[in-house]
Amino acid sequence: MLQKCVDPGSPTNGGQNEDHEYPVSDGTEVSFYCDTGYALYDTDTETCLDEVVSTCIDGEWTEPVPTCQPTCEDPGQPENGGQVEEYEYPVCSPSSTCEDGQWTTPPPECQIMCTNPGSPDNGGQVGDPTYPTSDGDTVVYYCDAGYDLFHPDGGSCLEYYDTTCQDGNWTDPVPECKAECDDPGTPSDGSQVGDPQYPVCSGTDVAFVCSDNHELHGEEILTCEDGEWNHPIPSCNPTCEDPGAPKNGHQIGDHDYPVSDGTVVEFGCDDGYVLFDMETLECMQYSNITCENGSWSDDLPRCKQPCDDPGTLENGRQKDNYEYPVCTGTVVEYECNVGYELNGTDSTQCRDGEWSNDMPVCEPMCADPGSPTMVVKMKIMNTQYLMELKYHSIVILVMPFMTLIPKHVLMK
């Protein structure tokens, strides 16, 4: 005869669905339920159960009394995410474990990821990052040989550059890789300031200076701009020192010596003096010299005193019309009026304010005084004869017995 089963009991926070009078006969089934907020739970499999039915067989129940575990409500959705499966809440044991009515872990956070930020021209990313990448991940950049890292906003070249994924954005923009510059060279008679180590990165300045007695022409400072120098190297041109001023003269205008190549210096003479060209021996209205490759183009001019009119020659005149005062070296020639002859030097020269010779004199010339006559007194045979003879037109043969007597004697 089969045995009956006694009351198996009821789960805590639950009960039996049927109302049996125990003991019950063989084959009787008993099902269980849990109170609201609880669910049937199999402790062996650690799974929630939709129902538990136990059957009486020969005095034994086929299933143990289940446990009523507290259930969990919907834990919510992560921002920018969701639950992997669809659940009917309340639940007993999803991925996030529900224990005693509480979720063992809070809902996860879904953080936005970062896509590939890109790489600079003439450079790249260190390693091989996988994208999209997680928040907090860092990307390091490099430049090819001959290029340097630069922040896009400017500044000097960098030895290291990285960017970090933060809230879906990169903390820094992609850098730039700018080309380096080689030595631009050095001007003749000049040098570079300092000791730059070439190649230099973009943005580097190089300054130049010239040797003594040389002046810099062009840009004093050159800047490397992405592999190119922004200006050609300057030149160092020789300068000229103060040439001085001629005696009794001066420079016109002010100059800051030494002066650069091509500078023109003009000269003037003090009052009472005029400029004089020693090569042409002529006076000049103006005179200047030019600084050419470190030397002056000409010698200093001379300042000489002019000469005033030496005076009027009585009974004569100066051969030309002169505008006095005249320049040193000027020659004045004289000539006399008709009937006069010049006694003295017929010219004089202006020599630094003085005439070389005294003025000559024009003296009157004598008219033809005529020819003297002679009275020849001849006594021939005790007879006297008078004869007027001109010395220069008659040849007189004077006999021994003839005597020549001037007329004025005979007239006495």
Residue whose C-alpha is closest to residue 95's, from 111, 84, 79: 84
Average pLDDT, the chain: 85
Q: What is the pLDDT of residues 328-354, one digit of tens each?
A: 889 999 999 999 999 999 999 999 899
State how far the Cα of 289 lies from the Cα of 285, in Å rounded to an integer. 14
**How far apart are alpha carbons 154 and 123 in whole angstroms?**
17
Domain residue ranges in the chain? 14-70, 123-179, 190-238, 249-304, 316-364, 373-410
Fold adopted by 14-70: Complement Module; domain 1 (2.10.70)
Fold agreement (14-70, 190-238): yes
Q: Does domain 249-304 have CATH number 2.10.70.10?
A: yes
d(CA 37, CA 13): 9
Dump pLDDT digits (tens) for 29-65: 999 999 988 888 877 777 788 899 999 999 999 999 9
Per-residue model confidence (pLDDT) at position 111 = 65
**Per-residue pLDDT at 403 exceeds 50:** no
- Which CATH fold topology does 123-179 show? Complement Module; domain 1 (2.10.70)
CB 112 within 8 A of CB 168: yes
pLDDT category of residue 97 using cuts at 50, 70 and 90: low
190-238 under CATH 2.10.70.10, yes or no: yes
Please state the pTM of the whole predicted model.
0.50
Q: Tell me the per-residue pLDDT of 189-222, one tens digit each, with 9 for 90 and over.
A: 999 999 999 999 999 999 999 999 999 999 999 9
> Does 1.10.10.10 match the CATH number of domain 316-364?
no
Q: How confident is the model at residue 71 (pLDDT cuts 50, 70, 90)?
A: confident
